[in-house]
Amino acid sequence: MLRRFPAPVVAQPRRAAAVLVGALVLAAALAPLAARPAVAERPPPAPARAPSACTANLASTLAPDHVRMCDPVHVTTTLSMACPVCPNGMNVIFIQDDTPYPEWQKQVSLQALTELEHYARGGRDISIGVIHYNGQGVRQVLQPAINNFGAARGHLTGFRVAHDPRALFLEAAQAGVQMIRRGRNLHGGRATPECELIVFFVYTKVYMADKGQEMIQAGRTLLREVDNLFVGCPHQHPEECTIWEPQVPESQRYYTEDPEGGRLRGMVRDALREIDTKGVVRVRALSLEQMLPAGLAIVPGTFDPKPNKTAQEAGGTRVTWGWRLPKMNETITITYRAQPVTAGVWKSDVSLSMMDSADNRGEHTLASNAITVENDICLTPTPTPPPTATPTQPPPTPTATATSTPVPTATPLPTPTPTPPPPTATPKPAPIYIPVILGEQCEIGQVHADVVLVVDVSTSMDRPTRSGRSKLAATQDAAKAFVALMDLTPDAHGGSDQVAVVGFNRHAWIEAPLGSDGARIDRAIDDLAKGQAEFTRLDLAFSVGAEAILAGARRAGHTPVVIVLTDGLPNRVPVAEDGTMETTVLRAAARAKAEGITVYTIAIGAPEDTNPVLLRQSATSPDHYFYTPDPEDLDAIYRSIAYAIGCPADRFWGGR
């Protein structure tokens, strides 16, 4: 939740910002950036990273515990991750200006403090610092201490009642930077800017341009240090606050003034909710490796989900999976089957590596349970229930035989004839199990692909990424990086990969047909921006993407692939008879897949802006669907797709 300075400010803060302080804008236009005095910068990061605060719950099993050479082994690995909110605690600084109208500043400051106190009851450590200032000096009246809410309550009402429009704004901000850094030492000395808040009260007269300049410099100083800056004007005269009020960019939700009641408390509440929602620290990248021993061989086609890589090594087979931005607190389950090839006692080793959003790493290792493979090659079949013999004749019906001496008072009891045992069935020949290991491999470079890059070129692709450039620009760069991974240079037989480029919005078009000219393909990707327009015809994305394959210069034996990228929901798509646009999209995707085309789908942007269920169903399989909230991560997705494009099904034994 970083705040951005308005347009007149030339320099960018350390992070992309979203809000600013009112009065600060006019002053930014009044003085060149080079005139600002030197301020203390955020200290450089320590070379050694701390261990990640995120934890992993990891388990791996081989089942059953005892098997014969012919029995399959079921391999199951589960993992889940949890990351604490603000693991390094929270720092909050109040910077209060002396004002002739004290009641409002007292009221809103105490309301914000109450909100923080409620938040701390959830087991979170929050340190509070308080600074008072005017035109004569800056007073650090309360040094940060963990959960010092009682002391803070008294100091937030102890500022002086005076009118001083020429207060020392920049000196107060520099004192705030020093105090926030001291607060970090209470939490291990590590900074988490997303978990730090500063409430800055400022006012001056509209014609005091020099003080306006000082305000903008004070704002920059604070925003270089923390992400969350809230500003209040503790004055009742409009001319004391109107310098900044009209200039707050995007919204005024980070600015308040006398006599607005409860607004500052709402700002703080929203910030805390955003911290909880995003988790602040989360797992950014996750990698899991499993080493299957040489005594067990992987059964092809049984992976769920498919791994990123398998490699034969001296000790067995190493299998690797990777995830970017995995969902927190959700369990990932990996399953596959293995076949014993050597008797003995076997177990697998599992290692997990993670990188969190603070660039801290976590490592976890474990060994599965051990299983015993018996030295039995299954010449004797697995016992089965004995076959039911067909009797040669029905058993005789029991008959009653009277006793030799009649008993007049009793009815003669029948004596049943014993039923003969069923005849012994002739044993059937038992099957003989012979271990067979099938090695299936698609050798790199022997199979080429015809790939169509289908890119959403709607107007929403102009929205910025975390680096500040547009989503479309980030997508174009990632697409060109994907093209660079393709084998476009003809081999000894004249074969090479081919790539086509398709754009879509209210309609769809082939920007470049299938070909191997890398420079022409890159130009086509760049030229997509020329066709930018509104709406999202996802149905046309799949149909025209398939057309680029089927009607293009397709080469026999090439793997046909269509990759559809979008940042929006279906829009202006013809409605099907069931009243939905989704059915129309699914039918277009199904027609492409029916032609033998492998379909990948990629969603980018805010989760609510796309339909993951629709895109997952449109892809060839759920594993062919990818999502990232920020297109800056597209390069890794395109790269994983490039490495996943494999052999056609008919190149494998048995058609698998």
Q: What is the pLDDT of residue 521?
A: 95
The predicted structure's pLDDT at residue 377: 54
For residues 248 and 567, give the distance between their C-alpha atoms in angstroms, rounded to a whole number.
29
Q: pLDDT: is 501 or 632 the higher one?
A: 501
Residue, of 27 and 392, whose pLDDT is higher:
392
Lowest mean pLDDT among 246-255, 275-284, 423-432: 246-255
Q: What local confidence, expressed as pLDDT, does residue 639 receive?
A: 83
If one compares 401 and 222, the residue with the highest pLDDT of the two is: 222
Q: How confident is the model at residue 46 (pLDDT cuts 50, 70, 90)?
A: very low
Nearest Cα residue to 582 out of 544, 556, 561, 610: 610
Cα(402)–Cα(288) distance, rounded to whole angstroms? 83
* pLDDT score for 395: 54
| In the predicted structure, residue 418 carries a pLDDT above the cut 60 | no
First to last CA, the chain: 49
Paired tokens of 10 = 């030339």
Q: What is the pLDDT of residue 324?
A: 84
- The pLDDT value recorded for residue 248 is 37
Residue-level pLDDT at 103: 94
Most confident of the following: 186-190, 202-206, 296-300, 552-556 = 296-300
| Tokens matching residue 584 | 């129309």
Res 190: pLDDT: 60
Decide if 233 contacts 266 (C-beta within 8 A): no
Q: What pTM, to 2 d.p., does this model score?
A: 0.41
The pLDDT value given to residue 403 = 44
For 227-246, letters b (16+ CB in 10 Å) and e give bbbbbbbbbebeebbbbbee
Return the higher-pLDDT residue of 532 and 15.
532
pLDDT for the residue numbered 271: 84
pLDDT band with cut points at 50, 70 and 90 for residue 629: confident
* pLDDT band at 487; cut points 50, 70, 90: confident
Residues in the chain: 656
Mind listing the pLDDT tens digit for each residue in 494-541? Answer: 788 899 999 999 999 999 999 999 999 999 999 999 999 989 999 999
Of 294, 285, 362, 368, the C-alpha closest to 78 is: 368
Q: Give me the pLDDT at residue 646, please.
A: 56
pLDDT (average), residues 29-55:
51
| pLDDT > 50? residue 13 | no
Min mean pLDDT across 248-257, 306-315, 379-388, 490-499 is at 379-388
Best-predicted range by mean pLDDT (256-260, 510-514, 553-557): 510-514
The C-alpha angle 339, 341, 342, rounded to 5 degrees, equals 130
**In angstroms, how far is CA 125 from the centroid of its own chain?**
27
Share of the chain above pLDDT 70, in %: 76
Predicted confidence (pLDDT) per residue in 436-453, tens digit: 555 555 444 457 899 999
Cα distances (Å, whole numbers) of residue 491 to 103, 175, 445, 496, 648 = 80, 66, 9, 7, 19
**How far apart (Å, rounded) are the C-alpha atoms in residues 212 and 215?**
5
Q: State how far Cα 179 lies from the chain centre.
A: 34
pLDDT score for 4 = 36
**Contact call for residues 54 and 274 (beta carbons, < 8 A):** no
pLDDT of 96 higher than 50: yes
Least confident of 216-230, 307-321, 420-434: 420-434
Type and span of the H or E element at 113: helix 102-120
Averaged pLDDT for residues 59-65? 92
**Any idea what DSSP says for residue 531?**
G
Q: Residue 134 — pLDDT band, cuts 50, 70, 90?
A: very high
Which one has a higher pLDDT value, 424 or 310?
A: 310
More confident residue, 465 or 134: 134
Pull the structure tokens for residue 288.
Answer: 């899991």
Tokens of residue 434, six digits? 């012979």
Give the residue-averaged pLDDT of 58-81: 90
Question: pLDDT tens digit string along 329-349?
Answer: 678 999 999 999 888 999 999
Q: Would you state the pLDDT for residue 437?
A: 57
| 66: β partners | 372
Residue 358 pLDDT > 80? no
* Residues sharing a CB contact under 8 Å with residue 621, sequence separation 6 or more, in sequence order: none
Question: What does the pLDDT look like over 561-604, one tens digit per residue?
Answer: 999 999 989 988 998 888 889 999 999 999 999 999 999 999 99
Mean pLDDT to the nearest integer, 274-282: 66
d(CA 282, CA 78): 19
CB 295 within 8 A of CB 49: no
- For residues 214-233, give the mean pLDDT: 85
Is it the case that residue 551 has pLDDT exceeding 90?
A: no
Q: For the residues 67-72, what does the mean pLDDT come to? A: 88
Whether the per-residue pLDDT at 410 is higher than 50: the answer is no
